[in-house]
Structure 1
Amino acid sequence: MTILVTGATGQLGGLAVRHLLDRVPAADLAVSVRDASKAADLADQGVDVRQGDFSAPETLRFDGVDTLLLISTNGPDEIRLTEQNAAVDAAARAGVKRIVYTSVSDATTSPLGLAKVHAGTEARIKASGVAHTFLRNGMYHENYLVSLPHALETGTLITATGTGRVASASRDDLALAAAIVVSGEGHDGAVYELTGPRAWNFDELAAIASDVSGKPVTHLSVPGEDFQANLLAAGLPGFLAALFTDIQVNIGLGVLSEVTSELGTLIGREPKTIEEAVRDAH
């Protein structure tokens, strides 16, 4: 069995490859990366490193692949959808037997802006006729840890979430779930809604950060347009500022608050909590 992971030098893909190497021989694993030099350590371990760029579909080499772990890409929505659809088409042409795709919570019904990309890619995979599994990942704990150093410095954690809750999970737990699914059987046709063990709000995150650091931190929620303006002023590209603001506003509306047990079931233990993630990052 050959498993190929796209985006294997990225954050989620890199973790998934690490977990796969604990489960399958390196000779059974391939990766598709834009810059093969960044995967030299994987090549040294016996992994088949293939150079491929989603923006140039003719470079994608999925021949001989039984299971493809398609890691969703980054970038403006219209570019992501075009590239991911091209990768799905390339996989179908190459005779890939199964596609496991990292999607987002409630992709086909969510009001999140980024859900449109994931819903479109899911539809393309279904239409391809290839057996598939959708891993609908919730938000990562790590998305919210990056703002804590500044919050600890200023004493204020600024969001646009109000009192809304988010059932986030650790990136590593989600990568482990992906590795388990792609290296196992019995997952064809499954749609897994993967969240952390509980939903928390940003007042709680500020309190956790205060407790762990010993420094006072309070949460301040601002209107979405102000939050987006702050991100743009900090130098974020427009599409990212809009994406992050949309997610935060939707958290405030309760969109990402649902908790499921599916991640824990897949990985065989309780997923890491936000408290553990803050402690580990401190």
Structure 2
Amino acid sequence: MSVLVLGATGKLGRLLLPEIQKRGLAAADITAAGRRKDVLDTLAINGYGTVQVELGDTEQVHRAIAGHDRVVLISGIEPDRLQQHQNVIGAAKAAGVRHLYYTSGLRIDDPTFALGADHKATEDDLKASGLTFTILRNGWYIENYIQAMQGAASNGVFLAAAGDGRIAPAGRRDFAEALATVITGDGHDNRTYDLSGDRDYTYVDLAAAMTEVLGTPITYQSVSGEQYSTVLTQAGLDEGTAGFLAALDGNLGAGIMARTGDGLSRLIGHPTMSLVEGLRQV
């Protein structure tokens, strides 16, 4: 088996590589692909194959995929990520790749969820390609709140526009373990998994976890999307980014990342990471 990991220099990708090794695949049989040469150089020292690649460059993508029977596509965050994903799917089909694994997102059919549209289009293209696939619809990362916690440490306030919404985040390590499990295991052909943490939390629960980690009281303050957008622009963000983040908080408040079941803990064979454990990773 030869595995190519596209996105290996990102946070999830760097956690994934050793998890694949733990499940019996040698570093020499894993190729780490990404943009960051400094990370790739370190991975090469640790025995991984490496290739620097821009997913927007179709020729580079074709060269990177050639010779690999399994390809992992960790979804990107760039504005043109759908085109990048389509480049990978096309190259994988042309190369006769045996299996393609894709990290998608929860509840991508919700038309109000801005982050879901690219995931849905990628899933549709992947299913139509004829490739054998496994799709992991990852929920929210606990680590997404570390920066907010660091900000709250200065004034004791965790500000968000998520109202009384519930989320079921898990740690990136949990999602990396799940992805490694399906890459190295059997019975996952043409399957889609909805993955979330073991329990729902409110933003009050998040503030309590921040309080425990920081050792200082943190209070959740709920504001409207408009108010939150204003706060973000006053902090220096452009209006487009501020509006996007405010809308995202609205999605979270509406339950877009609420619990979907125990699929994640079943795949990894243990409970998902707690809020406190995840926030203590700083």
Q: Please report the TM-score for the alignment, with normalisation by the length of structure 1.
A: 0.93
Q: Secondary structure at the match of 2:231?
A: helix
Structure 2 unpaired stretches of 5+: none
Residue of structure 1 equivalent to 2:252: 251
Kindly, what percent of the aligned residue pairs are identical? 35
93-102 vs 109-118, which moves further: 109-118
Question: Are the aligned partners of 2:107 and 2:256 in contact in 1 as well (CA < 8 Å)?
Answer: no
Deviation at 1:37, TM superposition (A): 4.0
Query: What are the Cα deviations for residues 172-228 of structure 1, in whole angstroms up to 9, with x where unaligned?
Result: 110111111112221011111110111101111112222333312111111112222
| Corresponding residue to 2:72 among 51, 66, 69 | 69
Tell me the distance in 1 between the aligned counterparts of 2:15 and 2:240.
Answer: 26
Deviation at 1:45, TM superposition (A): 2.7
Question: Are the aligned partners of 1:114 and 1:243 in contact in 2 as well (CA < 8 Å)?
Answer: no
**CA, structure 1 residues 197+110, in 2 after alignment: closer, same or farther (shift >3 Å)?**
farther
Query: What are the Cα deviations for residues 71-107 of structure 1, in whole angstroms up to 9, with x where unaligned?
Result: 001122xx11111111111111111111110000122
**CA, structure 1 residues 149+84, in 2 after alignment: closer, same or farther (shift >3 Å)?**
same
Residue of structure 2 equivalent to 1:144: 145
Tell me the distance in 2 between the aligned counterparts of 1:35 and 1:215.
Answer: 37
Tell me the distance in 2 between the aligned counterparts of 1:186 and 1:239.
Answer: 43
**CA, structure 1 residues 173+243, in 2 after alignment: closer, same or farther (shift >3 Å)?**
farther
Tell me the distance in 1 between the aligned counterparts of 2:241 and 2:16.
Answer: 24
Deviation at 1:128, TM superposition (A): 1.1
Deviation at 1:143, TM superposition (A): 0.4
Residue of structure 1 equivalent to 2:158: 157
**CA, structure 1 residues 192+213, in 2 after alignment: closer, same or farther (shift >3 Å)?**
same
**CA, structure 1 residues 46+248, in 2 after alignment: closer, same or farther (shift >3 Å)?**
same
Give the length in aligned residue pairs.
279
Structure 1 unpaired stretches of 5+: none
188-197 vs 239-248, which moves further: 239-248
Question: Are the aligned partners of 1:110 and 1:255 in contact in 2 as well (CA < 8 Å)?
Answer: no
Q: Secondary structure at the match of 2:183?
A: helix
Q: Tell me the C-alpha RMSD between the 2 structures.
A: 1.7
Residue of structure 1 equivalent to 2:193: 192
Residue of structure 1 equivalent to 2:112: 111
204-213 vs 183-192, which moves further: 204-213
Q: Output the amino acid matched with 2:254.
A: L
Deviation at 1:110, TM superposition (A): 6.1
Q: Output the amino acid matched with 2:67.
A: G
Residue of structure 1 equivalent to 2:135: 134
Query: What are the Cα deviations for residues 131-170 of structure 1, in whole angstroms up to 9, with x where unaligned?
Result: 0011000010000122112112101100000010101111
1:21 maps onto 2:27 in alignment? no
Q: Secondary structure at the match of 1:250?
A: helix
**CA, structure 1 residues 59+239, in 2 after alignment: closer, same or farther (shift >3 Å)?**
farther
Q: Please report the TM-score for the alignment, with normalisation by the length of structure 2.
A: 0.93
